[in-house]
Structure formats: structure tokens, C-alpha cells
Amino acid sequence: MVKKLILLMFFSYSLFAYDATVEIVKKLDTLPSIAVQDASEPSENMSLRKKFFKILVGDLRVSAHFRPLNEYLQSSYDGDISENFLSKKNVDLILRFRLKSVGNGLVANVKLINAGSGEVKNETNYKMQNRKRFPFLAHRIIVNTNDLIGAPPINWMEQFVIFSKYTGKRESEIVVSDYTLSFQKTVVKGGLNIFPKWADALQDAFYYTSYNGYLPTLYRVDLNTGERRKILSAKGMLVCSDVSKDGEKLLLTMAPNDQADIYLYDLRFKQLERITKYPGIDVNGNFIDNDKKIIFVSDRLGYPNIFSKTIGSNVVEQMVYHGRNNNSVSAIDNYIVYSSREKKSVFGGNVFNLYLISTKTDYIRQLTANGKNLYPRFARDKDTIMFIKHFKNQSSLGVIRLNANKSFLFPLKVGKIQSIDW
């Protein structure tokens, strides 16, 4: 019973709209200033136009490559002298959009204008068949605008986020969203459904654990067809924490005998292999080094800490020498981000902060400063980290832009975020 309670404590930190909130501000002296103009026809829905404007401005700010004006500006699409230069606004660039509803879809005509010369640097037409997904249309525009000025890529903005949120006692839903939570679609509901994990880089399928039957059961859901397929069931605990790059192997945390260990499950041959065999708690496995090694959380030192292990070897290596309760981890290349429990804050309650380390140096970088910052996940560009933040009874998705030293929060209006993947 005691061991079951310890396991629950390990995972409870993981179990447990739009406008971005800047926590850390970097000097913006060399970044181009940019104004966003709405050139849509008056007949187009004003509420949608203003939401679209806010997402564009927010994306520009989160990119950390622009200094956007917050002011909502309107213009004609062709523009006159005052609209094409904006001399009183002291801006370098103008991003002008014109939205047009076409059936259930949306078309956006977009110009990027040099505010010094009035020259149109680029004009692109965008189309989205489902108007409800308009936040992704805005993200695509900013990703392309960012590419036009030659800034480092921010393609992660177009990725789907999948998360589980608590909605009641033993009730949770799986939701697919954009990174700002402006778009949300519930894909699993009814009962306790937790720990969603994308099945591959295409983000067209995902795994999750259902606690609605006699045994915890891992399912795979195809988003295109809605088909749900059972992978396996196990008593005690069952969590898919990572998927191999080829999508053919899963890292699972299982506790068939009240002892949590990391298992490797081969989807092709339906074979289960136990990777860790420590008589304690090993959880939250992540593939590293081209899927040849794993990092994971273990209580081998008498408290949760981060370790690594080559698959097929018995040698375990300690990865983190800071903190006394390091309970969640993510890795990419030689970088590791983890959550560590600090002393109680002056406001009461424990503080969990995120730290970044490199396996090639001894440098440790603190990324957060207050609240419970949990379940970090690297984007594919390794300059961006997403995490869950619980602070003052509010649950948010957090985004950290490492090179810019900036952090943004996107609050969830209803429910409490349990776990995330993107």
C-alpha cells in the first residue's frame, strides 16, 4: 500500500486564452518593429477579425524575432500613403491581412510591406477549409513571415498540442489544440483518460491510457478515422511516455507487481521487454541518442532524480546533480530539461521550477521562478520548451523561448491540465 501511494505521488505532479503573458523581457533593440493592419471588408465578422489580429500579434511576440505594435489598425488592402508608411508609428514593417469567408472556410490575403519605402516585399494568399481552425491559419502566416525576414524557423507554432484535462472527480478529457489554446477540440471524453502521447511526427494518431475498465488500458486513436485500437492492458499502472522515431516502439511505465519499471513494447511483434529492474520506482522514460538509450526518473538515491541507461545494458548513469526531487524530464540531443521541487514559497505550497542542463557541460540554467512548473517537453527545434504551469489555482500551458530568454503563458479557462505532448 505504501509503495502504491509513493507511485501516485510520483505521477500526481504530472497528473496534476489567448493573450500571452510575458514573464521575462529581453532587450529588443535590434528586432524589427512591425504593425498589423486589418484590411478585411466591413461585411466580414468583426469578432473573428479581432481574434485573428490578436493571434497574429501574439505569434509575432512569441517568435521573439519582432517588436509588434499592440494597436489594432485598419486599412484598405491596396493602401494609401498614410497606410503604407505609418511614419507616426515608427515601424519597420507592415503585415496587412484581408479575411474573406468562403463557405465553411476562410481565405486570407496577406502583404508584407516595407514601412520605410512602402514597397510590398511579399504577397501570399492562404486558404483554410475549416473556419474553426483559424488560429492555425494565423500561425502559418507568422511562420512564413518569419521565414521571409530570414529569422530562425518557428515551425513549431503549427504543431498540434494534445493534452488531458481534469473536468471532475475521476473525469478527464483528451483535447487537441494549438499552442495558444485558441483552438480546442475534445477527442476523448467519458471517464478517466490521461497521458496522451502523439504516435508519430505526423500527429495523425495518439496513444492514451484509460482507467475506465477493470485494468488500465493503453489505446491508439486515429484522428482521421476516429478508430480506437487497444494496444494492451496491465494491472497497477500503464503509461506511454515516449514513442521511437520510426513509431514502432513504445516506452511504457508499468507496475504489474507494485514496482514501477520502464518497459519497451515492440508494436510490430507485440513483444514487451523490461528495461529497468530496480527494486524501487523507475518512471517517465524518454528515448535519447537515436533511440539507443533512455533517460528516466528513479528514486535510486532515496529521492526522485534523472538517470540514463543504454537499452540492453545494465549500467545506469546519474544525469542530474542538482535538486532533491526531480520528477519529470524531457531531452533532445545533448540537452535535458527537468522539473525540480524547491522549498515552499512565501505564498505557501511547494514550488517546482524547470532547469536546463547540457550533458557536455556542468552549466545549469533555471528557466522558471514561481508556481508549479511541470511536465516539460522540447519542440523539434530545441529552442522551445512547452510545460504545464499551476499557479494561484489556474492551469496554463507555458512556452519558453530559450535563445530569447522569454516565457509566455496561455491559461486554460475550464479544467486543470494533467499532461501534454506536442
Q: Model confidence over 290-305: pLDDT tens digits?
A: 999 999 999 999 999 9
Query: Of 329, 354, 386, nearest to 181 (Cα)?
Result: 386
How many angstroms separate the first and last alpha carbons of the chain?
Answer: 34
Question: Which residues, 6 or more positions from 116, have their beta carbon under 8 angstroms from its beta carbon?
Answer: 85, 92
Q: How far is the C-alpha of 384 from the C-alpha of 403, rounded, in Å?
A: 9
Task: Please state, in angstroms and as integers, the Cα–Cα distance from residue 359 to each residue in 133, 187, 216, 295, 331, following that order.
Answer: 39, 38, 35, 12, 10
3-state secondary structure of 12: helix
Q: How far is the C-alpha of 22 from the C-alpha of 228, rounded, in Å?
A: 39
Contact 358, 365 (CB under 8 A): no
Q: Please report the pLDDT score of residue 26 as a whole number.
A: 37
Q: Compute CA 345 distance to the chain's CA centroid, rounded to the nearest angstrom.
A: 26
For residue 7, the 8-state DSSP code is: H
The DSSP element (H or E) to which 49 belongs, if any, is helix 46-63
Other C-beta atoms lying within 10 Å of the C-beta of residue 320: 19
Query: Of 2, 14, 1, nearest to 253 (Cα)?
Result: 14
Q: Please report the pLDDT score of residue 22 as a whole number.
A: 33
Averaged confidence pLDDT in the chain: 90
Q: How far is the C-alpha of 265 from the C-alpha of 258, rounded, in Å?
A: 19
Other C-beta atoms lying within 10 Å of the C-beta of residue 114: 14
For residue 5, the 8-state DSSP code is: H
What's the CATH architecture for 2-16+156-421? 6 Propeller (2.120)
Other C-beta atoms lying within 10 Å of the C-beta of residue 406: 19
Location of each CATH 3.40.50.10070 domain in the chain = 33-148
Contact 97, 141 (CB under 8 A): yes
Spans of the chain, pLDDT less than 70: 1-29, 344-349
Other C-beta atoms lying within 10 Å of the C-beta of residue 61: 21
Query: Of 74, 118, 61, 110, nearest to 92 (Cα)?
Result: 118
Location of each CATH 2.120.10.30 domain in the chain = 2-16+156-421
Take residue 52 and report the three cell numbers written for it.
485573428
Side chain identity at residue 262, one-letter code: I
Cα Rg of the chain, angstroms: 23
Q: List helix spans (H) across 186-303.
A: none
| Secondary structure (DSSP) of 102-155 | ETTEEEEEEEEEETTT--EEEEEEEEES-GGGHHHHHHHHHHHHHHHTTPPP-G
As beta bridge partners, residue 173 has 165
Q: What are phi and psi of 46, to 5 degrees?
A: -70, -35
Take residue 37 and report the three cell numbers written for it.
493592419
Q: How far is the C-alpha of 163 from the C-alpha of 413, rounded, in Å?
A: 14
The DSSP element (H or E) to which 62 belongs, if any, is helix 46-63
Contact 164, 170 (CB under 8 A): no
CATH of 33-148 given 3.40.50.10070, 2.60.40.1930, 3.40.50.300, 1.10.10.10: 3.40.50.10070
As beta bridge partners, residue 340 has 326, 353
The answer, as to whether pTM is greater than 0.85, is yes
Q: Please report the pLDDT score of residue 24 as a whole number.
A: 30
For residue 257, the 8-state DSSP code is: T
The DSSP element (H or E) to which 161 belongs, if any, is strand 161-168
